[in-house]
Structure 1
Amino acid sequence: MTLSCIAVDDEPLALGLVCAFIDKTPFLALNGRFSSAVEALQHLLQHAVDLIFLDIQMPDLTGLELARVLERSNRGGHTTRIIFTTAFDQFALEGFRVDALDYLLKPFNYEEFLRASSKARHYFELIHRPNPTPVTLPLPATVETPEDYLFLKVEYQLVRIAYNDILYIEGLKDYVKVYRQSDPDRPILSLTSLKSLEEKLPPRRFMRVHRSYIIALDHISAVTKNSVQIGLVVIPVSEQYKDVFGQFISRWV
């Protein structure tokens, strides 16, 4: 599969480098290069493009503003995705808010560029894959039910997470970190709110104990009046949730 793409950057050297990387990548085809987001928008309104390598800090129209315009515009149902390129890492979260596929921090090398581009190719291969003919099979006795797991949006895909693998969940403003028993040192990052996630989790297995924490009840190793311990991690219980938590731990006594 070959992806048609454009590069947008107001810095000539940066624009030239991205275009050189595109030309070097067999599954990318350069459809245009632009030094401003306004010029790129004019092109996009007339041409279908799969992928945009887009700088963020630009005059007249920033990369984030262009991304929001593209989200709102109806361009015949064609899916155009964005990989941001910028020298400022503080834009990373904002980039994922507009559903960017990836985020390249300048200066980046070809290996980093290729990794992000390969992610884009994988995305388009998934959405263009034909649906197989459904086959009805008998369910095994140990089949998982929707009550055993949830799906979280992680970057451009939905990731299935088993409830019994979740240790605890930390809320960080606009996204959450899900800590798992299978890989406790590498939490899953998802752009959602803790409140939204709390509504999806079964209350018999999970409890919110703090404005920033949801815990898995099955993984509690110790409790005090003001905290709960999961493995080596001690999580505070805030005043707002003490009554409910106290009712739970009263069953332990």
Structure 2
Amino acid sequence: MKIKCIAVDDEPLALELVSKFIRQTSFLELSATFDNGIEALGYLNQNEIQLIFLDIQMPDLSGMELARILDGKQGDNKPKIIFTTAYNQFAIEGYKVDALDYLLKPFSYEEFLKSATKAYQFYEAKSKETSNNQGQQFSEYIFLKVEYQLVKIMLKDIKFVEAYKDYIKVHLVDRTSPLLSLTSLKNMEEMLPSDRFMRVHRSFIIGLDHIDSVVRNTVHIGNTVITVSENYKDGFLDFLNKWIA
């Protein structure tokens, strides 16, 4: 499996080094290089790329701004991002846009390969899901970034997902404390099949199989009571009518 990638950095030497590292990594395929974010964005709008090695501090359009633009796009074909920067204060911001990893300059090929391997493992798992399901849109599990590792979570075990500041809390069956992941509820919603999970509030996604009861505009899952907000009421009522039928 080859991962199609691009490198973006306004420093010529840094761009040359990343390009060299990509070329000597057997499972990476360098499609293009760019010294600014604007040209990279134009290329990404016209070409399907799986991985971006992206500098943060760039004029006109910074790497973080480019990442936010890409993070706002819908669908499963958004490229993953590995940030390359000399400034460690951007680490938290990197995880907010669901970056796969963060390389602090100057970095060695060993460090580069470790990050690239994360991308390979991600796409390998995604490829296996596709082949195993043979046309089904979703697998029976997802991988979620928890601290610095990817954790496999079975869909049937997810009771509900809760927004918590810059994180999400994933509440699971047979687990007293939720898993905490630095991602958005929007990203989580895109990962979950809509026939089994539903957004009922700006801060909550519920597992439909785990609903114990519905009282007026509230959903009861175990000891947790979740309010169905006005913006999501119509969709929930449609589901409820089918459920009752």
TM beyond 0.5: yes
Cα distance in structure 2, aligned partners of 1:131 and 1:80? 22
Alignment root-mean-square deviation, CA? 3.3
Give me the identity figure in percent. 56
Give the secondary structure class of the aligned counterpart of 1:17.
Answer: helix
> Which residue is equivalent to 2:182?
191
- For 2:105 and 2:222, the matched residues in 1 are separated by 42
SS of equivalent to 1:52: strand
More helix by share: 2
Question: Aligned pair 1:73/2:64, yes or no?
Answer: no
SS of 2:83's partner is strand
Q: Name the structure 1 match of 2:217.
A: none
The 1:108/1:202 distance shift into structure 2, 3 A limit, reads farther
CA deviations on 1:71-95 (whole Å, 9 max, x unpaired) are 2235x75231100000011100100
1:85-133 Cα shifts (integer Å, max 9, x gaps):
0001110010000000000000000000001001001101111112258
Equivalents in 2 of 1:64, 1:52: separation in Å? 12
- Alpha-carbon spacing, 1:27–1:108, altered in 2? closer, same or farther (3 Å): same
Q: Counterpart in 1 of 2:112?
A: 113
Which protein is bigger by CA-based radius of gyration? 1
Tell me how far apart the structure 2 counterparts of residues 157 and 10 of structure 1 sit (CA, whole Å): 31
Query: For residue 16 of structure 2, what is the aligned residue in structure 1?
Result: 16
Does residue 158 in structure 1 map to residue 159 in structure 2?
no
- Could you say which residue in structure 1 is the equivalent of 2:214? none
- Residue aligning to 1:127: 126
Aligned to 1:64: 64
Partners of 1:153 and 1:53 lie apart in 2 by: 19
1:130-209 correspondence to structure 2 within 5 Å: 130-131=131-132, 153-154=145-146, 157-159=150-152, 174=166, 190-191=181-182
Query: What letter matches 2:104 in structure 1?
Result: L
Normalising to structure 1: TM-score of the pair?
0.56
- Structure-2 separation of matches of 1:79 and 1:31: 16
Partner of 1:83: 82
Aligned length: 163
Give the match for residue 4 of structure 2: 4
CA contact (8 A) 2:96 2:183 kept: no
TM-superposed deviation, 1:189: 7.0
